Structures are given as C-alpha cells and as structure tokens.
Amino acid sequence: MRYFGDCQPENWLFRPLEGMSAVAVLDANVLLDALLIADGIGAFVLAELHRRGFALHTSGIALDEMRRTLDRARSNLPSIAPLVDVMVRNGSFNVHSSTALVPGIKIHDNHIAAAALDLGAFVISEDLPLLYDLDRAKIHGRSLREVALDLVCPQIPRQDLVVFGLGAGADGHVFLKFFADDEIVTNRFRSWFLFDAPDFGSLCYDSNIRSFIFSTEIGDSVSVPIELVSNRQYCLVINYSAGADTRLTIKVRGFGEEIECVTNGRISALEKRPTGSITVLNSRHKNAVWKGALQSVTFGPYQLSSKVWRAAYSLVGVSPPTLTADLTLCAAILTEIVGDRARRPHRDHVLQIANMSIPGFYPGRRVDERETKWFDD
C-alpha cells in the first residue's frame, strides 16, 4: 500500500490500488469524461472498477457542477444536462451528502473529501491540486491515469497512458518523469536525449557540461545546469509561449528535493505549429538513446500552473491530466440527445476537434506584440 509521504515506493509508475478500500468517490471531472466519451479513460475506469466489485460514490454538489459545465459548454446548443440524471438512474454509482468540513481542503472541493472520510473511501479526480491537498490531509486520492495503469498491469500499458499529448498551441508544455542510469551520471563524453519533437525542438542531457539543453534545428538553445544522481526520480517541465519569439521556462526537480533548477530563455519564433509527433528517449537524427527509466511524458496546448507542477513533482505516479484536459468541452459539443437515446463521440473524434480548436501561431501572440491587423476589436 502507498503511504503518504513515501519516498521509496516499489512502483514509480503509479500508486497501486492494492490494500485500498473498495469504495471510491468520483469527482465531477471523472464523471464528465465517463459520461461524454464512449471509449474514454473515464468510461474504461468506471466500468472496470464496477466489474471488480468497487462501490462508486459521488456527491450532489459534483452532479450540480456537471450540469453547469455541460450548460456552459453548449450555451448555443440544446441542453444535454439531462444525461446527468440518466447516469444517476442507471445506478452505476451512489450519491452521498456530507456537511463535514475537512481541514486543509478548499471549500469548493470539501464535498469530495468529506464523502471520502464518511465512507472510508479514496478519491478519483483529475484535479491535481486537489490530489495534492488530499495527500496532505492523509486522504487517499488517485488520478484516472493511475487507476487505469493499475487495471491494465501487469500487461504492457497502453502507450497513451505513458506518453500522451493533445498537440501544441501558442502556449504549451512538455512534461517528463524519469530516472537517469549510472552511465549518464558517470559518463562525461556524450549527450543523452529525452525527446525530439519536429518543428519545436529537442531536449538532451549534455554530460560534459552537466546540463539539460533544449535546442532547435536552427541552432537556438536554452540550458539548465543540474548534476544528476542515479536512483532518483526527476520531474521536468518546459512551459513555452509563442510569439515574435518563443519564450521558455524550464524547471527540473528531483523527487523529495527542496531545490528546483529553473531557467528562463528565448528562442526564435516557431514558424508553424509543431506536428504533435514526438520521438521519446532518443534523437531523430542520431542514436543517442537515454539510459534510464521513463515514467511519463505529456505535452499539451497549455502551460502548467505552479499548483499543477507542485502536485506532479510531489506525488508519485501523478502526471498532468493531459488524458482528459480540455476534452470535455469538445466532447460536449459532439454529444446529442436523439429521442430517448444519446449519441456520444469516440475519443479519436474528440481529439480531432480538440486539435482543431487549439490556438494557432501568428505574429505577436503575446499582448505586448499584437498588431491590430491580427485581431478583431
């Protein structure tokens, strides 16, 4: 069983369910994903937990939040909020109410934590700051990705559970969790690549100068000095903002460490949106394979906030919610009620719409660079 604050888990890929209560409290974001995307990760997780005998619960406040989200997503379309009531009537979960206040949990999340305490349950949520707060309050929480990995292992995990991206936008991020092998720590004569993304850039660790280097094909680079240690998990994020030039913030932190290595830099303007394809643990142009273990890679058209970053580097097995981020609104647009039946989209179709709606690249993406001709008043 995973204990709070455990810095030496047997499993670094995800926090297992073994030894946990067979009762789970579902957050609104989990239920929305399960409701709207026919073959999404939420639907898979809920169906498998139900099949394995887990008792599933949520709160009335979470259901109200679902209805508001659906109405907001379809402001000019017929309402599909009645699907929430259909989901409740189908009886796949119970609705629990509690007025207890849980110390350390924000007021708007209290209904989920209170239900978990009342029921002796754990929480499933895609809200990473909530997962962080739950951990500090000693209430077990899991992300959808973690639960899905537990359900499919010891099989080989689906690729999108380990390496997954929505695409790239005018602002975006690339996030990784990984270990460095002893050879990377001791070798002083080569570079080791973590990823290489066409039309964006590559990230390697230069063992000669002991630095991570993000570089582009035209020769721009930004470096982060850090002395890697073997047998320690590292988290790294590249937040970028595209404009007349591209601004980068790169953060690296070892698990359990207080010191964070941060570098801000600029590279030339991206000429077009990156393709969304990415080579992981090697370079496209030369064999410079990373020596070590990889736990996750995510990339998406939004920058990680400081609270999401904190949760991701602090909690074993937790990564940014790219498997569900921004997909609910697109799925809601594609969902419709026809008579007494509902038509729900498949995840591939939702991803297509999500990528079409990602903000594009154009000169002056940032406020201080914008020219009037590129924007409507």
Beta strand 261-268 with 245-254 is antiparallel
pLDDT value at position 168? 83
16, 3 contact by CB (below 8 A): no
Mind listing the pLDDT tens digit for each residue in 81-134? 999 999 999 878 999 988 889 999 999 999 999 999 999 999 999 999 999 999
Which residues neighbour 372 within 8 Å (Cβ) at sequence distance 6 or greater? none
Mind listing the pLDDT tens digit for each residue in 226-272? 999 998 999 999 999 988 899 999 999 999 899 999 999 999 998 87
166, 325 contact by CB (below 8 A): yes
pLDDT value at position 372? 60
Mind listing the pLDDT tens digit for each residue in 122-161? 999 999 999 999 999 999 999 999 999 999 988 888 888 8
Domains by residue range for the chain, with CATH: 23-152 (3.40.50.1010), 167-314 (2.60.120.200)
Q: Which two tokens stand for residue 362?
A: 């154009």
Strands in 171-178's sheet, in edge-to-edge order, are 163-165, 294-300, 171-178, 234-242, 245-254, 261-268
Nearest one of 241, 204, 242, 248 to 226, comparing CA atoms? 204
* Residue 156 backbone class (left: φ over 0; alpha: ψ -120 to 50; beta: rest): beta
Mean pLDDT of 343-369: 80
pLDDT value at position 6? 64
- 45 or 371, higher pLDDT: 45
Average of per-residue pLDDT values in the chain: 90
- 139 or 376, higher pLDDT: 139
SS3 label, residue 107: helix
Confidence of residue 356 (pLDDT cuts 50, 70, 90): confident
Confidence of residue 370 (pLDDT cuts 50, 70, 90): low
Mind listing the pLDDT tens digit for each residue in 18-32? 889 999 999 999 999
Three-state SS letters, 235-289: EEEEEEEECCEEEEEEEEEECCCCCCEEEEEEEECCCCCCCCCCEECCCCCCCCE
Q: Which long-range contacts (CB under 8 A, 24 or more apart) does 219-223 make?
A: 220/267, 220/268, 221/267, 222/248, 222/250, 222/263, 222/265, 222/266, 222/267, 223/263
Confidence of residue 1 (pLDDT cuts 50, 70, 90): very low
pLDDT value at position 377? 41
Confidence of residue 367 (pLDDT cuts 50, 70, 90): low
Share of the chain above pLDDT 70, in %: 94
